[in-house]
Structure 1
Amino acid sequence: MPFYQPGDLVIGGIVSQVFYFHDDAPLFNEQPAQSLIEEPVSIVKNYQHILALAFAVKEVNDNPRILSNVTLGFQIINNYYTAQMTYKATISLLSIQDRFVPNYKCGTPHTLIAVVGGLLSESSFNMATLLEIYKIPQFAYGTCSPAQGAKMLFSSMYQMVPNEDTQYKGIVELLLHFRWMWVGLLTLNDDSGDRFLQRVLPEFLNNGICDAFIFKIPKQTYVADILDLLLTQQEKYAVLAEKNTNVFFVYGEFPSIYILQALLFAFHAVSLPPLGKVWIVTSHWDFTAINMERDLDIQTFHGVLSFTVHSNEPLGFQTFLQTIKPFWAKGDGFIQDFWEGAFYCVIPVSDGDEGSSQTCTGEEKLESLPQPIFEMLMTGHSYSIYTALYAVAHALHSVYKSRPRHRVLRELQNVQPWQGTTLEKVPASYLSLSISTHLKAVDLWTVPASPPKSPEDDCGSRISSPLPSQTGFEDELAALYCTISNMKECVPPISLCNDYCFPGSSRKKKEGEKFCCYDCAPCPEGMMSSQKDTDVCVPCPDNQYPNKAQSECLPKLTSFLSYEEKLGNILAMLAVSFSLITASVIGVFRKHQDTPIVKANNQNLTYILLISLLFCFLCSLLFIGWPRKVTCLLRQTAFGIIFSVALSSVLAKTITVVLAFMATKPGSEMKKWVGKRLAKSIVFSCSLIQAGICILWLSTSPPFPDEDMHSLPGKIVLECNEGSVNMFYCVLSYMGFLAMVSFIVAFLARKLPNSFNEAKFITFSMLVFCSVWLSFIPTYLSTKGKYMVAVEVFSILASGAGLLGCIFSPKCYIIILRPELNNKEQINRIRNRYKE
Structure 2
Amino acid sequence: SLTLVHLPRIPYVLHISPYTDPSAAFVKDFWEIMVGCRPVLPGEHTSSEAANEICTGNETLMNSQDVFFNVTQLRVSYNVYTAVYAIAHALHQLPCLNISEIQPKEVRNKVTAHLQKVNFTNQFGDNVFFDENGNPPASYDIINWQLRDGQVQHVTLGHFASAANGDYKLSIQDEDIVWRTGKMVPSSVCSNVCPVGTRKAQIKGKPTCCFDCIPCADGTIANSTGRPTCIKSMYATLKQTYTINIIWSSLSLATMMVFIQYRETPVVKASNSELSCFLLFSLFLCFLCPLTFIGRPTVWTCMLRHTAFGVTFAFCISCVLGKTIVVVTAFKASFPGSKVAGKFGPTQQRIIVGSCTFIQIVICILWLKLNPPFPDMVFRYSNKKIVLECNTGSETAFYVVLGYIGILAIICLVLAFLARKLPNNFNEAKFITFSMLIFCAVWITFIPAYVSSPGKFTVAVETFAILSSAFGLLICIFAPKCYIILIRPEKNTKKHVTAKNLSKRI
TM-score normalised by the shorter chain: which range applies? 0.5 to 0.7
Q: Distance in 2 between matches of 1:454 and 1:562?
A: 73
Q: Distance in 2 between matches of 1:638 and 1:570?
A: 21
* 1:768 matched to 2:438: yes
| Structure 1 residue 645: Cα displacement | 0.6
| Partner of residue 340, structure 2 | 670
8 Å contact 2:286–2:312 — kept in the other structure? yes
* 1:565 matched to 2:201: no
8 Å contact 2:450–2:458 — kept in the other structure? yes
| Partner of residue 350, structure 2 | 680
| Partner of residue 631, structure 1 | 301
Q: Distance in 2 between matches of 1:562 and 1:676?
A: 49
What's the CA shift string for 1:615-640, capped at 9, x where partnerless?
Answer: 11112211112322222221110110
Matches within 5 A, 1:349-748: 365=102, 368=105, 564-566=235-237, 568-712=238-382, 714-748=384-418
* Aligned partner of residue 621 in structure 1, secondary structure: helix
Q: Distance in 2 between matches of 1:773 and 1:680?
A: 26
| Partner of residue 504, structure 2 | 834
Question: Aligned partner of 2:261: which letter?
Answer: K
Q: What stretches of structure 2 of length at least 5 have no aligned partner?
A: 1-94, 113-131, 134-230
Q: Give the paired residue count.
A: 296
8 Å contact 2:425–2:498 — kept in the other structure? no
Q: Distance in 2 between matches of 1:598 and 1:714?
A: 57
* 1:810 matched to 2:480: yes
What's the CA shift string for 1:251-293, capped at 9, x where partnerless?
Answer: xxxxxxxxxxxxxxxxxxxxxxxxxxxxxxxxxxxxxxxxxxx
| Structure 1 residue 364: Cα displacement | 7.6
* Aligned partner of residue 377 in structure 2, secondary structure: strand
| Partner of residue 159, structure 1 | none
Note closer, same or farther for the CA distance 1:656–1:562 as it changes in structure 2 (3 Å cut).
Answer: farther
* 1:749 matched to 2:416: no
Q: Distance in 2 between matches of 1:562 and 1:800?
A: 27
* Aligned partner of residue 750 in structure 1, secondary structure: coil
8 Å contact 1:563–1:572 — kept in the other structure? no
| Structure with greater helix percent | 2
Matches within 5 A, 1:223-302: none
Note closer, same or farther for the CA distance 1:635–1:454 as it changes in structure 2 (3 Å cut).
Answer: closer
| Structure 1 residue 834: Cα displacement | 1.5
Q: Distance in 1 between matches of 2:428 and 2:234?
A: 37
8 Å contact 1:562–1:626 — kept in the other structure? no
| Structure 1 residue 712: Cα displacement | 4.2
What's the CA shift string for 1:647-677, capped at 9, x where partnerless?
Answer: 0111111111011101110133424433112
Q: Distance in 2 between matches of 1:669 and 1:644?
A: 29
Q: Distance in 2 between matches of 1:597 and 1:562?
A: 46
Question: Aligned partner of 1:565: which letter?
Answer: A
Q: Distance in 2 between matches of 1:828 and 1:719?
A: 54
| Structure 1 residue 454: Cα displacement | 6.2
8 Å contact 1:572–1:624 — kept in the other structure? no
Q: Distance in 1 between matches of 2:464 and 2:233?
A: 15
| Partner of residue 220, structure 1 | none
Q: Distance in 1 between matches of 2:362 and 2:233?
A: 31
* Aligned partner of residue 668 in structure 1, secondary structure: coil
8 Å contact 1:706–1:720 — kept in the other structure? yes
Question: Aligned partner of 2:496: which letter?
Answer: Q
* Aligned partner of residue 386 in structure 2, secondary structure: strand
Question: Aligned partner of 1:691: which letter?
Answer: I
Match of 2:463 among 746, 768, 793: 793
Matches within 5 A, 1:25-424: 365=102, 368=105
Note closer, same or farther for the CA distance 1:713–1:571 as it changes in structure 2 (3 Å cut).
Answer: farther
* Aligned partner of residue 711 in structure 1, secondary structure: coil
* 1:819 matched to 2:489: yes
Q: Distance in 2 between matches of 1:796 and 1:563?
A: 20
* Aligned partner of residue 718 in structure 1, secondary structure: strand
Q: Distance in 2 between matches of 1:562 and 1:578?
A: 23
| Structure 1 residue 755: Cα displacement | 2.1
| Partner of residue 780, structure 1 | 450
Note closer, same or farther for the CA distance 1:711–1:565 as it changes in structure 2 (3 Å cut).
Answer: farther
| Structure 1 residue 367: Cα displacement | 6.2
Question: Aligned partner of 1:733: which letter?
Answer: G
What's the CA shift string for 1:294-350, capped at 9, x where partnerless?
Answer: xxxxxxxxxxxxxxxxxxxxxxxxx9xx99xxxxxxxxxxxxxxxxxxxxxxxxxxx
8 Å contact 1:571–1:794 — kept in the other structure? no
8 Å contact 1:615–1:642 — kept in the other structure? yes
Q: Distance in 2 between matches of 1:565 and 1:714?
A: 24
* Aligned partner of residue 719 in structure 1, secondary structure: strand
Question: Aligned partner of 1:761: which letter?
Answer: F
* Aligned partner of residue 706 in structure 1, secondary structure: strand
What's the CA shift string for 1:366-394, capped at 9, x where partnerless?
Answer: 564xxxxxxx7xxxxxxxxxxxxxxxxxx
Q: Distance in 2 between matches of 1:580 and 1:562?
A: 26
* Aligned partner of residue 235 in structure 2, secondary structure: coil
Q: What stretches of structure 1 of length at least 5 have no aligned partner?
A: 1-318, 324-362, 369-375, 377-452, 459-471, 474-558
Q: Distance in 1 between matches of 2:303 and 2:311?
A: 13
| More contact order relative to length (CA 8 Å, sep ≥ 6) | 1
8 Å contact 1:633–1:703 — kept in the other structure? yes
Note closer, same or farther for the CA distance 1:743–1:703 as it changes in structure 2 (3 Å cut).
Answer: same
Note closer, same or farther for the CA distance 1:562–1:784 as it changes in structure 2 (3 Å cut).
Answer: farther
8 Å contact 1:761–1:806 — kept in the other structure? yes
* Aligned partner of residue 565 in structure 1, secondary structure: helix
Q: Distance in 2 between matches of 1:591 and 1:810?
A: 17
Question: Aligned partner of 1:734: which letter?
Answer: Y
8 Å contact 2:259–2:273 — kept in the other structure? no
| Structure 1 residue 754: Cα displacement | 4.1
Q: Distance in 2 between matches of 1:630 and 1:814?
A: 43
8 Å contact 1:633–1:704 — kept in the other structure? yes
8 Å contact 2:297–2:390 — kept in the other structure? yes
Q: Distance in 2 between matches of 1:815 and 1:562?
A: 42
* Aligned partner of residue 773 in structure 1, secondary structure: helix
* Aligned partner of residue 625 in structure 1, secondary structure: coil
Question: Aligned partner of 2:291: which letter?
Answer: L
What's the CA shift string for 1:60-82, capped at 9, x where partnerless?
Answer: xxxxxxxxxxxxxxxxxxxxxxx
| Structure 1 residue 706: Cα displacement | 2.3
Q: Distance in 1 between matches of 2:442 and 2:498?
A: 38
Tell me the percent identity: 48
Q: Distance in 2 between matches of 1:671 and 1:591?
A: 26
8 Å contact 1:617–1:796 — kept in the other structure? yes
Q: Distance in 1 between matches of 2:446 and 2:233?
A: 21
